[in-house]
Amino acid sequence: MRVLFADDDRFQQVNMEDHFSMFPNLELSIAEDGQEAYEMFLKARDEGNPYQIVITDGDMPRMNGVELTRRLRRGLANLPVWIIMRSGGEYEYDAIEAGVNRFYSKLRTSPTVMEIVQMCDRMAEQGWGEEPR
């Protein structure tokens, strides 16, 4: 399963890479911001190797996570792409309105990055279009 992670914080990028490296059936790509993530998503789709999950931060330069979600949902409404946002609580309403499947606040301790990665792994095992149990 291909997962695209968008976050401009290098610590978050390394943290996500470390966690994903423990799950061989998950392939992680990293974008520095929402604009790069959008371009990477479209390129992968056009090449026939699409991402099934997008995990995005809310607050990034050039394009934030809410706008990234809106653009993905607007142009790809029929594709079963899971969008998970990790951000401060101020983006929660806008993120849900934009179409995220899950919103996790960085201000709360749960779920951890490992729990999010484990959820991605369960989705890969169950069939990526289904809600993880």
CA quadruple 130, 58, 71, 133: dihedral, nearest 10: 0
Return contacts of 110-119, CB within 8 angstroms, 24+ apart: 113/15, 113/16, 113/19, 114/19, 116/55, 116/84, 116/86, 117/16, 117/19, 117/20, 117/22, 117/23, 117/26
In a domain, 80, yes or no: yes
The alpha carbon of 50 is separated from its chain's Cα centroid by a whole number of angstroms, namely 13
Count the neighbouring beta carbons within 10 Å of the beta carbon of residue 130.
Answer: 11
Structural domain for 122, as ranges: 2-126
Q: Per-residue pLDDT tens for 12-70?
A: 899 889 888 988 888 999 999 999 999 999 999 899 998 888 888 888 899 998 899 89
Q: Per-residue pLDDT tens for 98-127?
A: 888 777 766 555 566 777 777 777 776 776
> d(Cα 34, Cα 111) in Å, to the nearest integer?
22
Query: What CATH number does the domain containing 108 carry?
Result: 3.40.50.2300
* Of the candidates 29, 60, 61, 58, the residue with the CA atom closest to the CA atom of residue 45: 29
In a domain, 132, yes or no: no
In a domain, 99, yes or no: yes
* Average of per-residue pLDDT across 81-91: 68
Domain count, the chain: 1
In a domain, 25, yes or no: yes
In a domain, 50, yes or no: yes
pLDDT at 132: 44
Residue pair 72/54 in contact by the 8 Å Cβ criterion: yes
